[in-house]
Amino acid sequence: MRNKLKLSLAILVLAAGSSNAELVIDVQGVAQPTPVAIVPFGWQGSGVEMPLDVAAVITSDLRRSGRFEPIPESKMLQKPTSGADVDFKDWSFVGVEAVVVGSVVQTGENAYTLQFQLFDVFGRKQLVGYRMPTSRGTMREAAHRAADMIYEKLTGIKGVFGTKVAYITAAQQGQKRLYSLVVSDQDGENEHTIMESNDPIMSPAWSPDSRQLAYVSFEGNRSSIFVQTLRTGNRFKVSSKPGINGAPSFSPDGRKLVVTLGGTEGNLDIYTLDITSRQLQQLTTHRAIDTEGTWSPDGRYIYFTSDRAGGPQIYRIPATGGTPERITFEGSYNARPRLSPDGTRLAVVHNDRGNYRVAVMNLARKDILIVSGGQQDESPSFAPNSDILIYATRQGGNGVLETVSADGLIRQKMASGRGDVREPVWSPFPRF
Amino acid sequence: MSYLKLLTVGLTAAFLAGCSQPTIPDPEPSDTTYGDSGASTDAMGDGDLGAGEYIEDPSAGELGMVIYFDFDSSEVRPQDQDLVSRHALQLGENTRLRVRLEGHADERGSREYNIGLGERRSQAVRQLLMIQGVSASQISTVSFGEERPAAFGSSEMDYAQNRRVEIRYTN
């Protein structure tokens, strides 16, 4: 039986401990989320309150995953802040399966120690405990990392709460459109506009080390591909040939991009581009539209969209060149391939009886599962744990973002105050 | 004249603190703010004779500048052939004229594939101009796919307005 869980915007904003969340999440149900308790963290330091309500961030992360139902503070019979004070009988009575306790201790002007412990209520034992140094600027990141460790212990799946999302927004600015390339935490917090322009921006792509984004910009009424370093804001133009320069995507080693070039004659083909030497290798030569190339995680193949058989379908070609092989056969329209980082699944935009929806193909079984429910859904991108996808859909004429578990069961809408939001891309895991 | 406002903003160092993977170096470290592109100066004093500029053929304004396409098609429709021929005549008579063909698609389907569909349409118009004697060097093409819609709705009528090639004289 499926249990629909709806959360109001106000509750979520409070739970996230913030009033300016760019993206607000609305969870659409899962079968029986597990009840857990995240006890308010203890605080030792100057000032009445800790810089960030860490328990609220962890609560919000676990709730948004759709797999957990954190109980409200009012139902807690005790509020311990360290493991020694946890009374398993009380928690068993309340009916939670796991309890998280922790504290933040100030150790310097801008230095803190965040620690937490996760307990299995029935097994009466600690599952994980961790202590990390942090600062006011990194405390939210530390809280997400704690949530990731808790999530992985309880589900066996790596958490993605510490990851980022990049996306494009478009809004009216007087007589002009303003296009922005934005990077935020995966929960919509901590948003940064890293590039904006009155001409279209599209097709953002993360470098494998999360330090750079490639994208297409139409400044000067021509398309060019840029690679921008996030920390500095510096960017360089890697391709600006006559005609189309589009659809960049990084190789797994970060040294190359797969790109689409059209040339003067407008025949779109797939090329690889060495970022440092600018050396190009042409992979496809067909008269059809060949575009939207993406590397397989093992680096061996490039998957791409081609309409060489009529409508667009997904093909793959060895990354060093060779003969294209058709991958999708189900339906008249399959485009914009993206592989799960574990290499087992392929996400595409699929025409489902007149609706453009996100479909996930199991590459071993070859079957297709439609995981979105809109009419104009597009740009699916896997989270680095391969378990969740983010994509763009339409609501009231505007683009909004949704996430869905790869099995299609847990779907969340992320509302935005930013006008038209599109082309979300999930970052790789951060490296510590 | 379109002025380009463009700026880049660095992300906080916090996000990247602790990354150890070597990254691709910036071969051209650049300013964080980029200048206007496509801007030109307009001042005309009384004293000095400035460099001149070519005036756009006024008759070009009377010509239709947009060609519309059927769903999933890049064929110039019979009723638009004459319009393309008149542009071809104008470009043939004045070989100094330059034209940019901007292809567009409706919003359905994937964005980069739609860039391809828009390009197919601008190439169809380009071929038609060239068959009628226009030099390749007078023509450039660009495709905006679904990124610059003429109509923002999601009805068939909006889609029909968005499947188009806009002909722009660039000098």
Regarding whether A174 and A110 lie in a shared domain, the answer is no
pLDDT at A430: 80
User: Is B147 near chain A, with CB under 8 Å?
Assistant: yes
Taking CA atoms, A350 is separated from A335, A372, B170, in Å, by 7, 10, 39
Residues of B in contact with A292 (CB under 8 A): 110, 112-113
Whether A2 maps to a domain, the answer reads no
- Residues A273, A376: one domain? yes
Measured between beta carbons, the chain B residues lying within 8 angstroms of A289 are 113, 116-117, 120
Residues A384 and A346 in one domain: yes
User: Above 50 in pLDDT, residue B13?
Assistant: no
| Residue stretches of chain A with pLDDT short of 70 | 1-31, 415-417, 432
- Non-local CB neighbours of B63 within 8 Å, separated by 6+ positions: B83, B86, B87, B90, B167
**Mean pLDDT, chain B, whole residue set:** 77
pTM of structure: 0.84
* One domain for residues A98 and A29: yes
Residues A198 and A89 in one domain: no
What distance in Å separates the CA atoms of residue B35 and residue B18, rounded to the nearest whole number? 33
Look at residues A121, A155, A189 and tell me which one is the last residue of a structural domain. A155
A46 and A71, same domain (yes or no): yes
Does residue A151 share a domain with residue A174? no
Average pLDDT over residues B72-101: 95
Using the predicted structure, report yes or no on whether residue B109 has a pLDDT greater than 90: yes
Q: Where does the pLDDT of residue B42 fall: very low under 50, low under 70, confident under 90, or very high at 90 and above?
A: very low
Q: Report how many Cβ contacts below 8 Å link chain A to chain B.
A: 206
Final residue before a domain boundary, out of A98, A128, A155? A155
Q: What six digits make up the tokens of A348?
A: 């595409």
On whether residue A256 sits in a domain, the answer given is yes
Q: How far apart are CA A106 and CA A51, in angstroms?
A: 10
Instruction: For residues A277 and A314, state if they share a domain.
Output: yes
Which overall architecture, per CATH, does domain B65-169 show? 2-Layer Sandwich (3.30)
Q: Is residue A3 part of a domain?
A: no
Q: Where does the pLDDT of residue B18 fall: very low under 50, low under 70, confident under 90, or very high at 90 and above? A: very low
pLDDT on residue A173: 87
Whether B139 shows a pLDDT value over 60: the answer reads yes
pLDDT tens digits, A9-60:
323 333 333 333 344 445 555 567 899 999 999 999 998 999 999 999 999 9
- The verdict on A210 and A137 lying in the same domain is no
Residue B73 pLDDT > 60: yes
Q: In chain B, which residues have their Cβ closer than 8 Å to the Cβ of A237?
A: 28
Residues A136 and A181 both lie in one domain:
no
**Structural domain contains residue A114:** yes
CATH number where A318 lies: 2.120.10.30
CATH number, residue A136: 3.40.50.10070
Mean per-residue pLDDT of chain A: 91
Owning domain of residue A272: 164-426
Say whether both A204 and A335 belong to one domain.
Answer: yes
Q: Do the chains contact at B110 and A431, CB–CB below 8 Å?
A: no
Domain boundary among A123, A155, A187: A155
Q: Which amino acid belongs to residue A383?
A: A
Burial of B86 (0-12, 13-18, 19+ CB in 10 A): middle
